[in-house]
Every structure is written in structure tokens, then in C-alpha cells.
Structure 1
């Protein structure tokens, strides 16, 4: 019922926007909006075209084909485009487009991704209309809809004669859903683009709502705990020679994480896999493995893997230090170590990000599309925009389509929000860069 009410409210907003004269917009901004409307059919045709091309992360040919479609669109707008070969990090690659305007003003980085979670083996492969406003299809919301919003926004600015003065970088990654390794290579070009930019905008679907945007995202880092003990007959456990064994030590550590850190706001640390026993065979690539042991043998080894998510670099560093300290307090005759892998850094809610949201909110109100509030960071995952953290003055994500069912065969998107997001984005770019 709640989703039905939201759809009705959204439809009412659309009708109001169509009746409105956009009194709060300047003459130039009204021109931008009219150009977005003029390209509506073209944008929806583009959306259907790219959704119908399978671009699961590991389907390198498909990712490249989708990239070439967007490359042609950027080329037509005067962008200097290039394809970054993904062989060094075992992925298809990335598409980068750069537009240098006729002024020395600020540079905005627009971020999308070409890949989806749906590989060639998935039964979910084609774009389809559920009704007159809702479309289904692999990546229609996450995030080919957002990719199209970028193009439609830029086309409106170009047709209004405004793009020629703007400094814009478009970055479409080819491995957002399953990052290449090493991550330092897979995200090198994105970080380099962030160093040049002043403002970053991401076109992920955020929390799936049109009324929200992300000014913060939590980190996503892997951790691995390895524990060892003295193998022995179970009758000797807790003796001075044998001690507690690996499984008791692993339980102490994981429970210690919970007791010390579970109340920390916006911090989570999840043990996803645990293997323990006399022998442990851990398969890193498959995130699993097998273990052998008996009830009458004290366990020799334990491996626990999980992730940690934090809202800021400071919170992440503090949590990692606490976890290391807990690991260091060994039970008798046991040893343990914890390591943290590469991952997505946190995007902290900085004053600049709040100011960007405030500007975007005002634009949405001026367009009679309602207010925009910040997404609760617990309601959205990690995303590529986090790699701009510390480099840009302002960053905001979640400018994709209103959607639901992401990463499942029930993925849906409201195609009316293609036009709506393009209008909000194009006017935002104009106000930021004029």
C-alpha cells in the first residue's frame, strides 16, 4: 500500500510540474528544461537499447559494447573520450570523457557504471514495460537509468548553448559490481579524475527513492582473522600445555568485536564465513571452503572472513585499531592475527556535501518536484563516488532513477524519473558552473 501511495504522490508531482510555469527558474533554466522534454523519447530509446545488451561484469564484450554506445553520445557532444583497457585488473575497462569549456571555472565529475550483476547465465536479460510508467530489466535501475540521465542532462545543456563553457569529466566504470584486482589499479583512473575535479556527482540509484540523495556512503573493507591452537585429545583442553584451542579463541575474538563496537553509530562489522577444525581449506576466490575435525580433538585452526563498514576514515581507523587490540589478547596456547584488505573508502558527510544537497533541494523545489533529503547511510551500500573522498570539495550520489528490486530479477524502475532527474541534474550543473 505504501508503494502505491508513493506512486500516486509522484504522479501528482509530475502533473503539477507539467502545469507549472516554473516561476522560480530563470529564462535560461526554462530553456534547459524544455530541451530535456524534447529528448524524452530519445532517452527512453537509449535506456531500452543498453538494458538489452548483457553487461554482467565478467562479460567483457558486453560491457565494452555498452561503453561504445555511451562513447558515441559523448563524442557527439564534443567530449574527448577514451577507453581504459581493463586487462591489468582483469576487467573490461572504463570509459572516460572530458570536456574543457571556454572558461577556467570549476570542474564537475559525473560518475556512472556500465556493468550489472546479471551475467550471461542469468535468466534476466531483457527490457520490458510492466505498465505505462514502470520498466523491468537487468540494470534498468542499477544503473543504466542513471547513465542515461547523464547523457540527457548534457544534451540539454549542449542544445541550450551552455555546455561549451563547462568543464566536465564523465567516468563510466566497467566493474562497479565486482571490482577488479588490485583495486589500486581498478580505481586509479577514477581517483586521478577526482584529483582534477572540484565537485563529484554519482548517478547510482541510492536507496531507490526520488526524494533522497546520498551525501555520505559507508566504507566496505574485507577482513580476515586467522587463529591457531595446539591440537590434542579433547580431554586435555584447558590444560597448561594445550590451552583453549583455536575455536574458543576465535569465538572470544568475534564476541569481543561485538561487545566493544556494536553500539557505534553507522559502524558494522560482519563475520560472513567461519571455518575451523583439525584441518581448514579456505578458498578465497569462492569465499568458502571446507574444514575437518572431531569432537574429541582440540581444533588447530580457524579462519573467519567478513567486512567492515564505517562512515568516515576516522571511524574506520578507530574500529580497526580496536579489533587489533582484541585479537592481541590471546587465550592460553593460542595465536591470532587479523588483516584488512583493499576496499571502498567511506564518503563522509562533509559541510560541502550538505551545501550541495541544499542547492539540489532548492532546484527540485523550483522545479515543483518536492524536497530532497539525505539518505540514511545505513540504507545504501558502497559506491564508486567514495573514491572521490578527500579530493573534491563537494560530492553527492543517488541521482539515478526511482527503482526497486536491485540485484534481483525483480528489478524495476520508474521511467518517468529519467526526465525528472535529467532536469534536476542539468539545472544543477548550470547553477554550479555558470
Structure 2
């Protein structure tokens, strides 16, 4: 237990109170004021002692190091947020990687850049490692890219007020990346990473993985297999929720055709309904027959149709030509399918394929499915990690932690590792509006989440 100052003024200063009390100007009797101060001090001292009794001296020192380094952590957050690193902005992604290469080198990590084949049109991944012989081998997961591409309006890091900041990728997930670094820096400064094995892996294409994924994630998976625990720092859902299960994500494309004739004949037996009506029929039937199943969602993200269409899958852009008096000859839809477990995914695909086959008159339709990120089912090993985090959180006075609803999160890189190692996610920064111009980070919770992360990792290293 740390030593406490005998003078109340000094103790209160530790908690952020001024060293000198302001001169009393209250009309209350001096005796009552003195008693109130004494009671308040006793309450603060008792609370502080209870907390200190649950934390070791080393853990208390770690919290002090996080406080000492916090201004530098915020500067690093702003520096990385102010670099556009949309997935397709490969130079921007690499620039963010170089920032972390600089920082991790300062704390004794070996760094490298994992290049991907040119055909994938992705920047690659950043890796930082320390190797040792003691304790659990930890694998930290972040990502350098965001959904905000270079041709979109740019939103830099901006403090809205003392509790909220905004900026592109500020919580998804540059805030989490900085938390990983701050956690490891604090442990390094106290010599707690000596002879430990730690891998930090920041992918450069999490928001839009290079295809095929078995190529873009090959190195990622192989390195993780040598670890014991994978730790994802995607956006936190406050203090009380941790993620031990995530839905998987796959893609699908739908193509429909119709007879291109004058629109005066639409619906007739010899003409039919056209490609756009057929696409609309299929999408609506998807909704009617599959919507509402627990953990299953499917979303048509883009649709184009007309007499002639073109779609570029690399840029996600399309063009359509047509007229209001022409029955559409072509339609094209792209979408995603999110699920928990392979069985749910396959059952949904079968139902969707059956719906697609029931064509309107004068039309054809074809659907193709593409595997993406697998799901991360809950396991006993994952639950054990939540138990450890819960104990840390309670010891720090932050309240209990429980496993979150898998349906509340999308897919993530950690899911590629779920069959090989124990996993926990949602350890990063908290905030709102991810993937939108209104994306924010909760600056009140950020330092406390950073502290909890540090003690959690310290205990895992000695688990």
C-alpha cells in the first residue's frame, strides 16, 4: 500500500484539490465547516485506501505512469487522426504505420512492415514484437485504416468540449491503437516487459480487407497462432461490456436481367417485369423471410439498374444508363451478410438462393456469395478473460464487466484467430458515431479505460 501524507491538504492535492484552501466566506459557523471538511476528508481517504488495498504497489505505479504520459498519448492520438488513412489511401495508411514504427522503436520493440501483393491494392500491415520466455504470449490487434477515403470531406481531431473530441477514426480505431501503445509503454517504463513475448499487429485494411482474405490475413493468422491470447482494441461499449463473441461477415452480389423494350408493354406476358422489378422483388422477399432471426442481418449496400450498367468493384462505384420509357435490362446489387456460426450463414444462403430462383416473368436472376470474416463464437477461454477483466475493473472501482451481445457488433480481424487462441475484444476507446462524420471519442472515459487496459495486461502477463 502506498504511503499517505499526514496532512489533509497534501492528500487532497494528490486527488486534484488545491494545496491551499480558499479563505472561508460562508455564513455557516466555523465549527460546522471544520466538521464538514473533516468528514469529507475521511470519506476521500477511506475510498482511496480501499482502492489501494485492492491494487499492488506495482499496479499503483502503473497508474501513475499512465497519468505522467497522458499528454503525450493525446498528442499521438491527434497526430494519427490528422492523417487520412482510408483503406484505399495506401500512402496515408503507411504514414500512420510510420508514426507507430517511430514510437514502438522507442520502447524497444522490433518493427516491420508486411507487404501484400500488388494485385490486392492494399497498403500492408504494421507489426511490432518483443520476444521472451516468461508468461503468456500476447497478441494485440489494431488497424491503421478508416472508412474515410481521401476523396471524402476531411474531419481533423477537434475537441468539442472537455469530455468529447471528434475526428476521422478517432474511436474506430485510432483511439484503440494509442491505448495499446500507452499500455505497453507504461509496462516498459517499469521493466515489466522484460523477457515477455508481445506482438502488436495493426492491419492496414480492416475496413475493406484485401481479396482474397486468405492472402491478406495469412501472415496475421500465422503469427497469432504462436500466441496464447488475442486482444482486440476495437471501440469499447463503456466500462461494463467486453466482447467475447462477434458475428462474421460475408458478401453477396445479385444480378438480374429483363427484356429491354418500350415501357408501355411492361407486365405483359410477352415482355415481363424487367430487371429492376426482379431485383426489388428479391430484396423485399429477403426482408420478409429472413429478417428478425437472432444474430442474422443482411444489407443491400448498393444497387444500380437500367438499360446498361457498369460497376467497378475496386472503387465501389457504378454507372447506369436508361430512360423512364425503357424496361430495365440489367440490375446489380451488392450487400453483406452477418451471422454467428457457420450453420447460420449456410442456412441463410440456402434461403436466399431459393428466393432468387423464383423469377418474375421475363426475368433471370443470379446470386453469388463470397466469404469474408469468420464469426467468433463464445468459448470458455474467452469467458475466463472476461472474468479477469471484471476483477481488474472491480478492484479499480469501475464496476463489473460482463460479456456483450454478439449481435451488437460487426465483424473484426480478431475473428480470424478465434479457432486458434483465446480472444477478447472491445478494449479500446469509447465513443459514438463510428463510420460517420459525427464520430466521437469520450475523453472523460479515455484515460480510465487506458488505465484499466494497463492493469489488465499486467495481470495477463502474470496469469
Q: CA shift at 1:95, angstroms? A: 0.6
Q: Distance in 1 between matches of 2:46 and 2:94?
A: 40
CA change 1:333–1:113 in 2 (3 A) is same
Q: Corresponding residue for 1:350? A: 379
Q: Corresponding residue for 2:401? A: 372
SS at 1:22's partner residue?
helix
Q: Does 1:55 align with 2:101?
A: no
Q: Does 1:411 align with 2:439?
A: yes
Question: Which of the two has higher C-alpha Rg?
Answer: 2
Q: Comparing 269-278 with 360-369, which one deviates more in the overlay?
A: 269-278
Q: Comparing 158-167 with 270-279, which one deviates more in the overlay?
A: 270-279
Matches within 5 A, 1:261-340: 261-284=290-313, 285-292=315-322, 299-331=328-360, 334-340=363-369
Matches within 5 A, 1:34-433: 34-86=64-116, 88=118, 89-103=120-134, 105-207=135-237, 209-230=238-259, 235=265, 237=267, 239=269, 246-284=275-313, 285-292=315-322, 299-331=328-360, 334-392=363-421, 394-433=422-461
Picking from 61, 75, 87, the partner of 1:31 is: 61
Structure 1, unpaired ranges of 5+: 1-13
Q: CA shift at 1:340, angstroms? A: 1.3
Higher relative contact order (CA 8 A, sep 6+): 1
Q: CA shift at 1:348, angstroms? A: 2.3
Q: CA shift at 1:308, angstroms? A: 1.1
CA contact (8 A) 2:266 2:273 kept: no
Structure 2, unpaired ranges of 5+: 1-43
CA change 1:247–1:149 in 2 (3 A) is closer
SS at 1:142's partner residue?
helix
Q: Distance in 2 between matches of 1:414 and 1:131?
A: 10
CA contact (8 A) 2:141 2:200 kept: yes
Q: Distance in 2 between matches of 1:409 and 1:326?
A: 36
Scaled by the length of structure 2, the TM-score of the pair is: 0.79
Q: Distance in 2 between matches of 1:131 and 1:276?
A: 45
Scaled by the length of structure 1, the TM-score of the pair is: 0.84
SS at 1:413's partner residue?
strand
SS at 1:98's partner residue?
strand
CA change 1:38–1:279 in 2 (3 A) is closer
SS at 2:95's partner residue?
helix
C-alpha RMSD of the superposition: 3.1
Q: Distance in 1 between matches of 2:437 and 2:309?
A: 35
CA change 1:227–1:194 in 2 (3 A) is same
Q: CA shift at 1:128, angstroms? A: 3.2
CA change 1:323–1:56 in 2 (3 A) is closer
The count of corresponding residues between Structure 1 and Structure 2 is: 416
Q: CA shift at 1:339, angstroms? A: 0.5
Q: Distance in 1 between matches of 2:155 and 2:49?
A: 37
Q: Distance in 2 between matches of 1:321 and 1:222?
A: 14
